[in-house]
């Protein structure tokens, strides 16, 4: 059985025997989103893997990352000759020690680190316009989003029982059930 948002809300209320005065639509939206996020953190599927490709700018050590990225799988560079290089993720403190003068030297980047929510920093600074490919897990659309609430999502259509169980676990905590 596949779930629409309305059917899932009804089943959660029926299983918990709690009406809409306690489990309102807005409370259930948060419960369902929490369950979806917990499920998506626990399993690794190819359903939400996407690829972004762009070219690095010579002398610019920053790379814009996709705004819908949930987690990175890998980052790879390719030079004009077709040679491929996989980048290793490092902490920004490592980058500061390894490459403390980013403007003075350049080469084939070996490392990347999260700079902020929108950028990565590379080390060393690119000496050519390498093509970079990022394989990442995209933040999926929630069942609570109005654009899919009637038709469902991959999770609500293929794994309806898992989504119901996860939502019931979240609802149980919200209703202050015993911790054990």
DSSP string, 119-138: EEEEESEESS--EEEEEEEE
Whether the ω angle into residue 127 lies within 30 degrees of 0, i.e. cis, is no
At 4-63, the pLDDT tens digits run: 999 999 999 999 999 999 999 999 999 999 999 999 888 877 778 899 999 999 989 899
Give the pLDDT of residue 68: 86
Are 39 and 165 spatial neighbours (Cβ–Cβ below 8 Å)?
A: no
Give the pTM: 0.71
**Mean pLDDT computed over 146-163:** 89
Instruction: Compute the average pLDDT of residues 122-147.
Output: 90
CA–CA gap between residue 91 and residue 42 (Å, rounded): 24
pLDDT confidence tier of residue 179, bands split at 50, 70 and 90:
low
pLDDT tier at 102, thresholds 50, 70, 90: low
pLDDT number for residue 69 = 87
**What is the arithmetic mean of pLDDT over 128-141?**
91
pLDDT of residue 129: 93
In sequence order, which residues have a C-beta less than 8 Å from that of residue 121 and are 6 or more positions away? 61, 62, 92, 95, 102, 112, 113, 115
Question: In a 10 Å sphere around its CB, with 0-12 CB exposed, 13-18 middle and 19+ buried, how is residue 99 labelled?
Answer: buried
């Amino acid at each position: 059985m596949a779930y629409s948002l309305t059917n899932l809300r009804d089943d959660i209320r029926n299983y918990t025997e709690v009406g809409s005065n306690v489990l309102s639509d807005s409370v259930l939206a948060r419960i369902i989103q929490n369950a979806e996020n917990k499920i998506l953190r626990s399993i690794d599927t190819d359903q939400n893997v996407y690829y972004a490709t762009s070219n690095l700018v010579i002398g610019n050590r920053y790379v814009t990352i996709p705004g819908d990225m949930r987690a990175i799988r890998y980052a790879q560079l390719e030079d004009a000759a077709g040679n491929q290089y996989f980048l290793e993720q490092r902490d920004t403190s490592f980058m500061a020690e390894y490459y403390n003068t980013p403007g003075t030297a350049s080469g084939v980047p070996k490392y990347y680190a999260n700079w902020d929510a929108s950028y990565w920093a590379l080390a060393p600074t690119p000496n050519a316009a390498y093509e970079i490919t990022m394989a990442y897990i995209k933040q999926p659309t929630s069942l609570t989003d109005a654009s899919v609430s009637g038709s469902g999502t991959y999770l609500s259509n293929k794994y309806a029982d898992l989504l119901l169980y996860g939502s019931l676990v979240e609802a149980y905590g919200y209703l202050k059930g015993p911790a054990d």
